[in-house]
């Protein structure tokens, strides 16, 4: 067995995971090979050094806290479920309304004779004027000013 091959097997050998037929060969090689023996010794020291890490502190009331978190997550999941059903409930009428609006809009386009597009600007302006400018009142009814003047008039 070549030294290079044994070196690759030493890790598994240290872990007691090398096959029985390799075990004897590795051990006899290590006895004779200083370089491989050094690796085995270093591995042992390494394993010991890794043991200096502390463990986690015992967690008090772990199960009680875990139960609380589980219950909380179950409540959240139920609320999420409820939210989904509300969404579903809203989605159906909303889609129906959207379809109705779309149908109305398409109907307007298909049913129109195009006159509205050709309408002259003067007519549009007169409509705007009739709707907004001519009906403009400096003291609209039920406004603060209207109430004030009404009160002043009473006096």
Partner 1 sequence: MQDTELMLRVREGDEGAFKEIVERYQRQILDLCFRYVCNQADAEEVAMDVFIQLYKSRQTYRPEAKLSTYLYRIAVNLSLNRIRDRKRKRLVSFEFLKKDRPFDPESPDSERPDAVYEAGEREAIVRRALESLPEKQKTALLLRRYDELSYEEIAAVMDTSVSAVEALLFRARETLRKTLKPLIP
Interacting residue ranges for partner 1, rule: CB under 8 A: 8, 11-12, 15, 17, 39, 42-43, 45-47, 49-59, 62-63, 65-66, 69-70, 73
Residues 6+ apart with CB under 8 A from 26: 1, 6, 9, 10, 13, 18
- Who's near 140: CB < 8 A, 6+ residues apart? 146
CB of 85 to partner 1, least distance (A): 21
| Closest CB to partner 1 among residues 49, 122 | 49
Tokens (6 digits) for 70: 């589980």
**What would you report as the CA-atom Rg of the chain, rounded to the nearest whole angstrom?**
44
Q: Shortest distance, CB of residue 40 to partner 1, whole angstroms? A: 11
Is residue 43 helix, strand or coil? Answer: helix
| Of residues 25 and 43, the one with the C-beta less far from partner 1 | 43
Structure tokens, 129:
């004027």
Residue ranges of E strands in 44-144: none
- The CB-of-86 to partner 1 minimum distance in angstroms stands at 24
In terms of CB distance, is 44 or 127 closer to partner 1? 44
Minimum distance, C-beta of residue 32 to partner 1, in the bound complex (Å): 22
């Amino acid at each position: 067995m070549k030294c290079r091959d044994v070196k690759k097997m030493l890790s598994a050998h240290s872990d007691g995971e090398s096959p029985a037929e390799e075990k004897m060969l590795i051990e006899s090689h290590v006895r004779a090979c200083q370089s491989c023996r050094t690796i085995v010794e270093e591995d042992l020291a390494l394993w010991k050094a890794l043991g200096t890490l502390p463990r986690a502190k015992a967690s008090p009331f772990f199960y009680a806290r875990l139960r609380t978190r589980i219950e909380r997550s179950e409540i959240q999941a139920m609320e999420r479920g409820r939210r989904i059903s509300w969404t579903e409930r809203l989605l159906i009428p909303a889609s129906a309304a959207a379809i109705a609006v779309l149908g109305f809009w398409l109907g307007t386009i298909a049913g129109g004779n195009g006159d509205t597009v050709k309408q002259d600007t003067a007519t549009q302006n007169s409509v705007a004027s009739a709707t907004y400018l001519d009906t403009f009142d400096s003291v609209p009814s039920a406004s603060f000013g209207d109430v004030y003047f009404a009160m002043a008039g009473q006096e």
